[in-house]
Chain A
Amino acid sequence: MEIDRRSIWVLLGLKGLRPLFFLCVLLLFWYVVTMPVPAGLTPEGKNAIAIFLLCLVFWVTNVIPLAITSLFAIVLVPLLGVLPRDEVYGLFGNEAVFFILGAFILAGAVMHSGLSNRIALAIMEKSGASPKRLLISIYLLASVLSFFMSEHAVAAMLFPIVLDIAKGIGLKPGRSGYGKLLFLSLAWGCVIGGVATFLGGARVPLAVGILHETTGATIDFFTYMVAVFPLVAVMLLVGYLVLTRAFRIDVESVGKAHELLARRIHAMGKMSSNEYAVGTVLVLTIISWAIWGSTTGLATIALTSVVVLFVFRLVRWKDIEEYVNWGIILMYGGAIILGSALERSGAAYWMAEKVIGGWVTSPLTAIAIFSLFTLVLTEGISNAAVIAILLPVAIGISGRFDMDPAIVTYSIAVPAGLAFSLPLSTPANAIAVSSNYLTVRDMAKVGVLMSLTAWIVFNLAVRFYWPLVGLGS
């Protein structure tokens, strides 16, 4: 039995802190709900803002799980009369939610089959004994895998391999420049690759879901890739240059890592028929998303692939349950409901005008401000929460400049994934720091520079590249 040795006053204070916090949030919520309706806002809009503030506080402080915060939105929106109950639960079945679900089940099947692990090991092993080539292979591998599956799942899968490599070549935790490089390249590879497609994280489908529910517009799988891929390529290059300038490669050879990878591949045996089949389903799904995504619907294709996996017994329900966190449905469903409530009640436009209306003088300044806000916020809170908070407001102001709301959606959805500086911003960063090969200071030092670069590169792409591919012109 463990004895808590802290003083009774400290213990009572700590116990009382949480209820006190909830009481303060409740009072703030009550104050907004009961205050007179401000000019230009409807009573429903005012209530929507009260729910928005409540969720904002909980998402930022993370005092309760993100998914449970979303439940507040689901419960409070009909309760306060912002939207009818039927409509609220109808939004919960949004296509984006089912696309996210299908994509996570597919990724779970790929991981369970061992295919992703095999691909990762094979690519790393090909890098030979050169430290630079191994570093590049980890960086690009993390990035490319994050094009096809959740970047968080990629980080979780690659971390034990990179840890074994670091140990195998005898790197000193906290002291080796190459150790810092390995773990930062893993984290940043996932972060940058995660914004390249709809599959890297659920944030892009969430943003597209909010866009669709609030304006009727949408962004298809292929258009998104065309818009974002060059940006990803530039960020990968800049990221590599920043990392290799900041930290020195202080090892001559990584021959031992090469041997270790070869042993692991040998231990996996030959590629099984299950791996071939799951790989085929994944490839066909991605091709279908790119070709028929806009006509058939991304969710329909994703769920068809899931059905195929089960029909051919490539995966069992029990296996999938271990790889998918069902809280994701609540989180993303709730975020879409909140976004729709803000937009339909007029609260999003009202807030946009009051909060940032004075600063925004043109469409380009609007995008610059939104992308900057997003990059700063995403360093501190979950990137899905950033989208749920900022996107309805950003869409609200797009009408003032006759801007395509899809462009505004890009300016929030893409930077929301680019968190480079802090371990609390994204799981990939947290895991890199937990290795103890690098410190929070190491990450922040280069991460701030990278975030600034990301903002500049993104806004240059908006100004010069997007008009070339017919976006925002």
Chain B
Amino acid sequence: MKKNILIVLSTSRTTSRAIDFAVDKAKKEGSGLVALYVIDTGLTNEVFDRFTDIGFIGDKPSTRLTEAIMKEYRQRGYEEIGKVQVRAMEENIDFDAVTAQGAFVEKVIEVIESHNVSTAVVVKRKTSGFMKYFSRSVVDELVEKAPCEVVVFEEEE
């Protein structure tokens, strides 16, 4: 089965350097390229809870609001995947796209296992030196748990 390079895009993390790296690596190794866009539902659930539990807003406006956010995230996902697809077509690389909703680490590992991924390319949010001691990124968790090589890029300013 042909090996794949996975480029992971998400609601809040993306960088063109990571996409370039993944495309170049896939071309060099003769692998396929898989673009995964993860929609973080935790964020929308949090917004819904804030409006209902703290703002005491009824279900209808809160639901409309979270639907608007989800719609926006999905559209952004298609746009991001589209960019990668164009690059893959230009370089004549086999391409596959997956969108997933849910917890970041779980969804990435699922795709790594189902698509025979040899290298996953992910983007990490920039954190200040001070905050690094107090917060653990989901990307760190992915590096620890992923059954393949994980290349991490820091997000661009």
Contacts and interface: CB of A to CB of B under 8 A. Distances in A.
A5 B68 CA distance: 31
Which bracket fits the contact residues of A? Answer: 35 or more
Given A160-B64, A427-B50, A436-B12, A150 B58 contact: no
Interface string A177-191: 000000000000000
A142 to B, nearest CB: 14
B98 to A, nearest CB: 16
Contacts of A426: 54-55
A157 interface: yes
A322 B60 CA distance: 5
B51 A427 contact: yes
A321 B54 contact: no
Given A5-B109, A434-B47, A163 B72 contact: yes
Given A167-B72, A434-B69, A436-B11, A427 B61 contact: no
A331 B56 contact: yes
A167 B58 CA distance: 27
B115 interface: no
In terms of DSSP, what is the predominant structure of the interface of chain B?
helix
Nearest to B156: A175
Contacts of B102: 2
Interface in A201-239: 202
Given A427-B50, A434-B43, A159 B56 contact: no
A104 B68 contact: no
Which bracket fits the contact residues of B? Answer: 20 to 34
A35 to B, nearest CB: 33
Nearest to B102: A2
A433 to B, nearest CB: 9
Interface in A433-448: 434-436
B106 A2 contact: yes
Interface in A167-181: 167, 173-174
B59 interface: yes
A327 interface: yes
B91 interface: no
Contact of B54 (A2, A160, A427): A427
B60 A152 contact: no
A79 B89 CA distance: 72
A398 interface: no
Contacts of B44: 434
Given A2-B106, A167-B72, A173-B76, A431 B58 contact: no
15 contacts: A2-B106, A5-B145, A66-B54, A152-B54, A160-B68, A163-B69, A167-B72, A323-B57, A325-B52, A382-B54, A427-B47, A427-B55, A431-B47, A434-B69, A436-B76
Given A152-B51, A152-B55, A384-B54, 12 more contacts: A2-B102, A67-B53, A67-B56, A152-B54, A153-B55, A163-B68, A325-B59, A426-B55, A427-B51, A430-B46, A434-B69, A436-B11
| Shortest Cβ-Cβ A-B pairs, 5 listed | A152-B55, A322-B60, A323-B58, A160-B68, A328-B56
